[in-house]
Amino acid sequence: MDNELDRVDADSLIDSIPAMVAFMAPDGTLERVNRQILDYLGAPLDELKDWAATDAVHPEDLPSVIAVWTHSVETGEPYEIEHRIRRADGVYHWFHVRGLPIRDVEGRILRWCVLQVDIDERRRDKTTIAQALADVSASEDRLRDIINAVPGFVWSAGTDGGVIFINQRWCDYTGVSLNDARGIGWTTSLHPDDAGGLATYWYALLASGESGEYEARIRRFDGVYRWFMIRAVPQHDESGQVVGWYGENTDIEDRKRAEMLLAGEKHLLGMMAGGSALSLTLEALCELVEATFDGALCSVVLVELKRPYPALEAVPRMQPGAAPNLPADLMPGADGRPVDAMCCPLAAAALSNEQVISTDLAEETRWAGWVCSALSHGLRANWSTPITSINDSVTGILSILYREPNEPSATQQNLIAQFTHLASIAIDRARNEAALKQSQAFMNKAQRLSSTGTFSWRVETDEITWSEEIYRILDLDPSVTPTFELIYTRIHPDDTLLLEEMFRRQRETAGDFEHEHRLLLPDGTVKHVHLVAHAITDKDGGLEYIAALQDVTQRRLSEEALGKVRSELTHLARVASLGALTASIAHEVNQPLAGIITNASTCLRMLGADPPNVAGALETARRTIRDGNRASDVINRLRALFSKKSITIENVDINAAAREVIAMLLGELQRNGVMLHPDFAEHLPQIRGDRVQLQQVILNLILNAIETMNKITSRSRHMRIVTGLDESQCVYLEVKDNGTGFDPQDAERLFNAFYTTKSSGMGIGLSVSRSIIEKHQGRLWATVNDTGPGAIFRFAIPPLAEIDAVTGNAQEGR
């Protein structure tokens, strides 16, 4: 009973052990297992007794398990082995199995106690670790290869940002050893312009613990900088703490250049579109070229084709364009002289319209002076490329200079083509704009000078466009939008109806029109304007008028004044002549009077003498009578000249008429020291006309000649009066002086009523004289003396010409 109880206690005892426990007989057969084994294996004890014949033990492990167990049973040595045991669901787990013999007091084995502990998890971990170890060992080698194979730079840094490791590629590129690069040593390879920005970014990144990237230039061992994208990634431990940084730098030079070029082009096109000055645009272009071509000095000169008179061939001339960094003496064109291909490669390129490449100026034999300057500035290569406009004419030269001998690569040639294309756009645009501005300025000036404005009127929409001058004529602010309402505020009230009517008509029927009307401006000014409009129809049949409006106020006022003046002209002419002749008349009368008085005095003395000298007295008395008659003649002539009321048509002997005028003017001629040379042709036919009027003309011509000779002091004054018959059988009279003459351009203006070269008002005579001669079917004109100084005035009248009906009637009315 007690035994039975013990047994029950022992069962519950082994069942409570948290492991699988089995008891074996001394011969090795299974006697008993605890509950854990039954649960794990999922089979009854009877089945388990045949374990060696089942797959309860993993087939791979079974031979060694049987061998070791057999050995322990035979020898009594403790049994220990690790093997896999199948669970109820078929999955094998690793177990650590230990068997110990339980002996009696005599040392005989009573039974074996076998403990099986599940070590599957532990066992698996171990395998993983071993695998991992093997992997790590392999990857370390691979990593080294990878690190050196990466087409960039790989590095690691500590939490403080100091570089710990950096790959060989970086060292090869920068020429800086790993030792020198450690810590912050690597920053010496950064471009000075980028170092500050990168440092700020890097420390911000360290503080945030996030990954990031930054673009910066890194110096190559030979001093050339290239752009790199620098990426940094933090390394965290299990708790998320940053324990270090890994990074990689990629060469992005090509991308960066493409971007820069694109940005540069965009900037340049923006400048052009924004209307920047050409010099600024070209300067920006030069800077872009210099940024793109390392070590290059870029400049642009402008070339303009000028066709100098009288040469027919257009000659290119160079003008400064832009040269932000070029020594001044290498910049041709400042003098604007014609281009000479011998002076510099730029000129040669301009003349040939072909690229000129000098790969080494030290070996260049052309352009000695220019090359010498270039060499003295340490420049060794030059590429001069023409910039051509759309029509293929050269508008400029893009010059690139290098400090080393250099030849352009295909890529560089492509870029140069791109740059010259940009430059040509800039130059063409600037020139077109300048030409446009100039022609606009010319037009404005021309409109201003001619007081003519232009406007267009689109009938359908009543849209009106005015030129600047219209605003000025209408006295309106140029900022207002033109409308018909606005126009009508400026029209003179008396003309408004007529104008409105005309616009109404023109609106309905297309056709050119012309109109003259007045404007009344707010300040009370009245202007006369002349409007000429031309109708055009556009392709949609819309009617538009293109019109010119001219301010004719001055002309109108002049015409009115002229009309007034003309009516008084004849009278004025006579009064003027009379005034000028007063002195001459006095002279003519005083001369014979002096003789009369002197002779009379002598006569009295001779008669009063003792004895009286009667013969002498008679002679002096006769002279007195003669001089008296002479004085009387003068008075008669004057009366004939000035007292006539109407026109008399008679046969006139031009020589006799001229002689009478000369006789009257002798005193005037003398007073002015003029030598008169009459040269009258004999047997001239008579002409029909008004003798006195013709004499007035002759008088006028002679007085004018005297007056122009007044200013002569360096030579004696001569006047020739010639009469004759010209080739068309007209009787002519010519007055020729050696005075100051006149400008041949003024030959016609002399006859203008307002033209005078004199300070007094005598000039009015020529226009009147011409009208008199024309009334006689003749002509009066002036020429410059062809044999010396002075002028010739000549009139010619057909002999016995018919006088027009009006003067003929005047004769009858006498």
Partner 1 sequence: MDAPLLISVVDDDESVRESLPDLLREFGFAVQAFSSGQDFLWSGFIEQTRCLILDIAMPGMSGPDLQKELTLRGYDIPIIFITAHGDPAERPRLMSQGAVECLMKPFSEAALLKALSAALPVS
List residues near partner 1 by CB under 8 A. Answer: 583, 586-588, 590-599, 601-602, 605-606, 609, 616, 620, 623, 626-627, 630, 667, 669-676, 716
Residue 650: half-sphere exposure toward Cβ, Cα within 13 Å: 13
Q: Of the two residues 570 and 598, which places its CB atom closer to partner 1 in the complex?
A: 598
Secondary structure (3-state) at 33: strand
Q: Of the two residues 164 and 675, which places its CB atom closer to partner 1 in the complex?
A: 675
**Spatial distance between the Cα atoms of 405 and 726, rounded to a whole number of angstroms:** 86
Q: Of the two residues 589 and 784, which places its CB atom closer to partner 1 in the complex?
A: 589
**Position 490: which residue type?**
R
**Spatial distance between the Cα atoms of 763 and 746, rounded to a whole number of angstroms:** 13
Q: How far is the CB of 630 from partner 1 (least distance, A)?
A: 8
Q: Of the two residues 668 and 734, which places its CB atom closer to partner 1 in the complex?
A: 668
Q: Of the two residues 441 and 625, which places its CB atom closer to partner 1 in the complex?
A: 625
**Spatial distance between the Cα atoms of 100 and 98, rounded to a whole number of angstroms:** 7
**Spatial distance between the Cα atoms of 218 and 238, rounded to a whole number of angstroms:** 35
Q: How far is the CB of 761 from partner 1 (least distance, A)?
A: 20
Q: Of the two residues 620 and 767, which places its CB atom closer to partner 1 in the complex?
A: 620
Q: How far is the CB of 549 from partner 1 (least distance, A)?
A: 56
Secondary structure (3-state) at 112: strand
DSSP character string of 640-671: HHHS--S---EEE-HHHHHHHHHHHHHHHHHH
**Spatial distance between the Cα atoms of 253 and 231, rounded to a whole number of angstroms:** 15
Give the per-residue SS3 of 512-544: CEEEEEEEECCCCCEEEEEEEEEEEECCCCCEE
Q: How far is the CB of 767 from partner 1 (least distance, A)?
A: 30
Q: Of the two residues 403 and 671, which places its CB atom closer to partner 1 in the complex?
A: 671
Q: Of the two residues 716 and 809, which places its CB atom closer to partner 1 in the complex?
A: 716
Secondary structure (3-state) at 17: coil
Q: Of the two residues 436 and 583, which places its CB atom closer to partner 1 in the complex?
A: 583
User: Angle 696-702-706 (CA atoms, 0-180°, nearest 5)?
Assistant: 140
Contacts with 269 (C-beta within 8 Å, 6 or more apart), sequence order: 422, 425
Q: How far is the CB of 679 from partner 1 (least distance, A)?
A: 17
Q: Of the two residues 308 and 579, which places its CB atom closer to partner 1 in the complex?
A: 579
Q: How far is the CB of 623 from partner 1 (least distance, A)?
A: 6
Q: How far is the CB of 778 from partner 1 (least distance, A)?
A: 31
Contacts with 648 (C-beta within 8 Å, 6 or more apart), sequence order: 690, 691, 692, 811, 814
**Spatial distance between the Cα atoms of 206 and 452, rounded to a whole number of angstroms:** 76
Q: Of the two residues 346 and 585, which places its CB atom closer to partner 1 in the complex?
A: 585
Q: How far is the CB of 666 from partner 1 (least distance, A)?
A: 9
Q: How far is CA 372 from CA 357, 362, 366, 804, in A?
A: 17, 9, 10, 88
Tokens of 576: 């003027």
Q: Of the two residues 143 and 583, which places its CB atom closer to partner 1 in the complex?
A: 583
Q: How far is the CB of 673 from partner 1 (least distance, A)?
A: 6
Q: How far is the CB of 717 from partner 1 (least distance, A)?
A: 9
Q: How far is the CB of 792 from partner 1 (least distance, A)?
A: 21
Q: In 3D, which of 361, 362, 366, 367 has the Cα closest to residue 332? A: 367
Q: Give the distance between the most distant pair of CA atoms in the chain.
A: 235
Q: Of the two residues 526 and 675, which places its CB atom closer to partner 1 in the complex?
A: 675
Contacts with 774 (C-beta within 8 Å, 6 or more apart), sequence order: 780
DSSP alpha helix (H) spans, 396-552: 410-449, 468-474, 484-488, 493-508
Q: How far is the CB of 809 from partner 1 (least distance, A)?
A: 43
Helix or strand (DSSP H, E) at 374: helix 368-376
Instruction: Let me know: does 88 contact 42? Beta carbons within 8 Å.
Output: yes
DSSP code, position 32 = E
Tokens of 393: 């004419």
Q: Of the two residues 267 and 605, which places its CB atom closer to partner 1 in the complex?
A: 605
Instruction: Let me know: does 527 contact 519? Beta carbons within 8 Å.
Output: yes
Q: How far is the CB of 601 from partner 1 (least distance, A)?
A: 4
Q: How far is the CB of 707 from partner 1 (least distance, A)?
A: 16
**Spatial distance between the Cα atoms of 719 and 672, rounded to a whole number of angstroms:** 12
Residue 66: half-sphere exposure toward Cβ, Cα within 13 Å: 14
Q: Of the two residues 71 and 715, which places its CB atom closer to partner 1 in the complex?
A: 715
**Spatial distance between the Cα atoms of 208 and 51, rounded to a whole number of angstroms:** 63
Q: Of the two residues 194 and 668, which places its CB atom closer to partner 1 in the complex?
A: 668
Exposure b/e, 563-590, CB count within 10 A at least 16 = b: eeeeeebeebbeebbeebbeebbebbbe
Q: How far is the CB of 659 from partner 1 (least distance, A)?
A: 17
**Spatial distance between the Cα atoms of 248 and 169, rounded to a whole number of angstroms:** 11
Beta strand segments in 212-292, E: 212-219, 225-236, 242-251
Q: How far is the CB of 722 from partner 1 (least distance, A)?
A: 19
Contacts with 613 (C-beta within 8 Å, 6 or more apart), sequence order: 606, 607
